[in-house]
Structure 1
């Protein structure tokens, strides 16, 4: 009996050892496969990549950083930059309706599938771009902001020049194939850093992993968010001509980098290459530097001119609620674009392995003006299976408030979690002084559970004038904000 038990025990031990060896072999094979995949990706003739220390502007790694490439859906990073700029300037709000033209609705997948004549909110559009990379929503936003997609593309190119993206040209708002739409890995790194530094109040949207649209739950295409420590966005992209593209932002342990991979052979190869770059170069990034922005504001006179479209007075319908620009009741047809930017990266230490991201100033002629007219809102989009025209049914998710406040409010930012939103409120209140003395800070959750983003707001203003004046005072103190109806 004892021998029988001993033999059985030995057999079990042997089986356990075999399973363990097989597990170790599989793990080793996966690690080796990832390594081989990353090395093969770097050898890919379409490949271009760069890693930039976002605190110093120093280049930690580059390969073909200035070779012209097709951006594919990385284009939507600029569409979002222009959207965030319009939000910050008060020309639109997160609740502004985005009408879908026949052209926008007809864009190729991936898309939200909104029919011509219907609309979504700006916030739904933002979420559609950062998760699904929705081509129809990108075009609709471009038409809203530029009057037409062609003119919006001119605005995007002008903005690229002002940001120092000297080799980037845009022809549409979504990145669908166009042989004249080109960029470089270096230019996309500049844009990624600009998005983070110019719009911290909106940047949290890039970490959204899923959101509800009608009855659909839309998951993000960005597989590194939530799976690689410190990755907080930014954007994926793919077309057959472009290959697989990815811009990633990483912030952890006091270090901050932005990496770009373009021309990847497949989604796994692209993602593995980015993982390898992050693991290799994040430890080499500086823990010093900041919070000074690497990208400084450039004079508006350096922005190329873009002709404003002719808009009939009958076609102009400014919103009766939402953010209130200072010139809302004075200018109905056009308004000055918020100051654009010029890259002014810090000089790198003298080293062969560390170079400034940009070595020359960018100068472009003339000024840029865009129409501030808001089209008459189209009917709210309702997914076909719902068969209901209620606007409440098409919000992306439930809305919850930590404190209910009616009337006029001042919003100071959007964050991926409630604590960060409360920190924004505390920082704004400390800078706002007496203008926020009687204001009530609260947050509004947009989304469900771990997918929620939080709007940081102050309520309790008696009327529009009080809210607008409070926002003006906050802006003078360096706090981005806008006033709107609750």
Structure 2
């Protein structure tokens, strides 16, 4: 793969031409060449996309997966469920994960803080596996927890199947989703974010250097994570702060670590100066940690912890993340080419972009009659969504329940639902209206979160 400066018009013309030819030749399937490189640069203060190339096409995350494993670990620490010295047991299964790894023997354990450092620097697969088992009982169940968390953070196309990123054809993401996760880590866990700037750490008799070679060599870079498998290519998410500006940049699909790093340097040089010095930086809704039972049992996820639960009849919901009064969804994985049998197998085909499974549903013209006032909010108005459920009856019950539980915030608001169809099944978004603009809606949503009711504000 040859990286070209994104600021040159020639690059843009070649990109457009390449995408057009690929679409004509392959009938909408992402061509291998077109899928090799995906990138995005986001202003971390305003959320503006400063640069984008194939940012919404599906990619294999490889070890970028560990960003979500760390997100959930930080969340547990912040909630007081675990501490830096909590011991994470190592099972025989996790000890057999292929390199890179620390090499803890079955029956041994590792404290949380060195576990974090092993993921940040060495990208240890055995430790990632152990964290997944500790929080959810198994890697597969932890993958469901991770996917649910991704939905709560607005990562609409990401599906996780394991905590480390070793090859799985159904574990996919996009450059845009990884940028959102990078920003969420910075916003939600400033007290732990400095871990990503660790250049090296020692464990036992070994010393491990960080795979992110931009740390200490590119001004302003303070993390976040590298990733590589043969199927994914070389990936990198970088956080940069300098001159009062802040960006998160993503490069996915590099042919070599050197070419990936060179492209990231070009993106930083070309777009950091275009970022704003203004903005609150509060861009990603914070998923409430309450309701998650951490420990050596299956994680129990409170449905109120997920702003966008959805149900897929073809997907069997685990008891650990369902309740009778709400349906929590973990999106079904797209059908992709088979994954390589190991991280070092020959290059596998790139993921196909499956539009039907991943694009948001088209707006539905009608609105359910479930409402608490005589008018329905019009286009452009700000509303607060608290859930998506499977029937009008559930929606009606949830509206009444929410208005009773958070009467000071919602009693005088207009409850209504918006139906939509996904995979042939109708669902109902539960929303409240009657806000004086964006700031009012955001303020109410923050109040709901303090009452352990997850939500997000959106403009109709």
TM-score normalised according to structure 1 size: 0.56
Within the candidate set 262, 285, 290, 1:296 is matched to 285
1:53-72 matches, cutoff 5 A? 53-72=43-62
Give the match's secondary structure for 2:224: strand
Q: Tell me if the contact between 1:300 and 1:368 (Cα under 8 Å) persists in the aligned partners.
A: no
What's 2:166 paired with?
176
Alpha-carbon distance in 1 for matches of 2:318, 2:169: 27
- When the two structures are aligned, how many residues end up with a matched partner? 297
Within the candidate set 108, 115, 118, 2:108 is matched to 118
What's 1:215 paired with?
205
Q: Tell me if the contact between 2:249 and 2:264 (Cα under 8 Å) persists in the aligned partners.
A: yes
What's 2:95 paired with?
105
Alpha-carbon distance in 2 for matches of 1:92, 1:299: 16
Alpha-carbon distance in 2 for matches of 1:127, 1:221: 12
Please give the per-residue CA displacement for 1:113-136, whole angstroms capped at 9, x wherever unaligned: 111110010111100000000000
Change in CA separation of 1:140 and 1:64 when aligned onto 2, cut-off 3 Å: same
Deviation at 1:290, TM superposition (A): 1.5
Deviation at 1:148, TM superposition (A): 1.1
What's 2:129 paired with?
139
Alpha-carbon distance in 2 for matches of 1:187, 1:334: 24
Give the match's secondary structure for 1:295: coil
Alpha-carbon distance in 1 for matches of 2:210, 2:287: 34
2:73 counterpart of 1:127: no
Within the candidate set 162, 174, 178, 1:188 is matched to 178
Greater Rg by CA: 1
Q: Tell me if the contact between 1:37 and 1:272 (Cα under 8 Å) persists in the aligned partners.
A: no
Q: Tell me if the contact between 1:297 and 1:340 (Cα under 8 Å) persists in the aligned partners.
A: no
Deviation at 1:71, TM superposition (A): 0.2
Change in CA separation of 1:299 and 1:122 when aligned onto 2, cut-off 3 Å: closer
What's 1:234 paired with?
224
Change in CA separation of 1:62 and 1:224 when aligned onto 2, cut-off 3 Å: same
Gap regions ≥5 residues in structure 1? 1-32, 317-332, 343-361, 371-475, 477-486
1:29-108 matches, cutoff 5 A? 45=34, 46-108=36-98
Give the match's secondary structure for 1:94: coil
Alpha-carbon distance in 1 for matches of 2:193, 2:206: 24
What's 2:240 paired with?
250
What's 1:199 paired with?
189
What's 1:259 paired with?
249
Alpha-carbon distance in 1 for matches of 2:181, 2:224: 10
Alpha-carbon distance in 2 for matches of 1:138, 1:132: 11
1:270-309 matches, cutoff 5 A? 270-291=260-281, 293-297=282-286
Deviation at 1:91, TM superposition (A): 1.2
Please give the per-residue CA displacement for 1:85-108, whole angstroms capped at 9, x wherever unaligned: 111111111100010001110000
Deviation at 1:230, TM superposition (A): 0.3
Please give the per-residue CA displacement for 1:330-374, whole angstroms capped at 9, x wherever unaligned: xxx9766697476xxxxxxxxxxxxxxxxxxx553699967xxxx
Alpha-carbon distance in 2 for matches of 1:122, 1:339: 27
Alpha-carbon distance in 1 for matches of 2:222, 2:306: 23
